[in-house]
Amino acid sequence: MKLINNNKTLIALALTTLVSACQSTEKVEVTTAEPIKAVEKVIEEKVVHPPVDEILSQVRNCNDSIIIRSQLLSNQQLDKACALMIEQESYFHELFNTRGKPVKDDGNVALRANVYDSKTDYTKYATQHFDMPTNNGGMYLEGFPSKEGNQAEFVAYEEQSKSSGEWYIRNLKHEYVHYLNGRFNAYGDYCKYLHDDHAGPEYCPKPSPILPHSVWWGEGVGEYVARKNVNDWANKEVTKEFGKYQLSDLFNTSANQNGGGIRIYAWGYYAVRYMMEDQRDAVEEMLVLMREGDNLGYQALVHKWGTSLDADFTKWLKTTLANEKSVEPAESGH
């Protein structure tokens, strides 16, 4: 084959080809489109971390109902965490008379606490390990308690107290109460409860149920059982906001609508504490409905309470806030 090197020859050949194409009787379809872009397949880099059993490789069975799976907890820390939860379990059952009386269809016979070494490790691993958000201080994942083989999980991390320098498991007591309350005081899984949380790992369906919801109780009882009558953080926050909410307002608290950390946890703590201390008969009537999963009955009961308890709650709250002086331990989590 002879190569053509002459520039004039190349131009002539190009013109001939162009004229030939223009004279062709073959129809050439022309389409308009968006500006041509290079075809590029973007492959998102996803870091695959080691499985949870490799990261949380230490396993301690505290008793038949409490398991701790941790990254770097010392034996002393494990002993302390086990003792704390065992004591709290006894206190919960004494408070609600629920020992040996789980709600119907609940097979969550044990809680497994999963403890990362730090907030950094929690943020790095927990979403992949548990399909959960990590913009929080830990989560209780109930799963589906009626399903055989379901495992209730608590996921959190170690944190150092700013005041004492002591290392502890963040929110351990609060989240353990969620397990106890879910097994002994509330029928069904998380999506059965009255709230407006649609995040993972449960991804509860929309639309949310109508108000009132039961978030005030679920989170408030977690704080109340964990802290009992000593809650400096809640005292400080509610004192600053005293008069902002009536008790009837707090019954309409939810995860997103009418939410916020102070309203949910600090005000929720005092709402539950007031009900437990001054309206125990009303609480027992409510718990009968919750243990049966009767959401409509619960809402009817709260509507019946209406604003009738508001004035007494405000009076009780004013006195309680003024009389609290104790300092709470580092393990409280706030």
Alpha-carbon gap, residue 218 to 216, rounded angstroms: 6
- Spell out where 106-235 has E strands: 111-116, 139-141, 152-160, 167-169
> 10 Å Cβ neighbour count for 69?
20
Active-site option among 142, 159, 175, 219: 175
Q: Among this protein's residues, is 175 annotated catalytic? A: yes
- Cβ contact 140:153 at 8 Å: yes
Distances (CA, A) of 92 to 32, 89, 99, 148, 222: 72, 5, 9, 25, 10
Residue with tokens 């005292």: 235
What's the token pair of residue 134? 């990590």
Alpha-carbon gap, residue 37 to 65, rounded angstroms: 60
- Cβ contact 150:161 at 8 Å: no
Alpha-carbon gap, residue 216 to 204, rounded angstroms: 19
Catalytic residues: 175
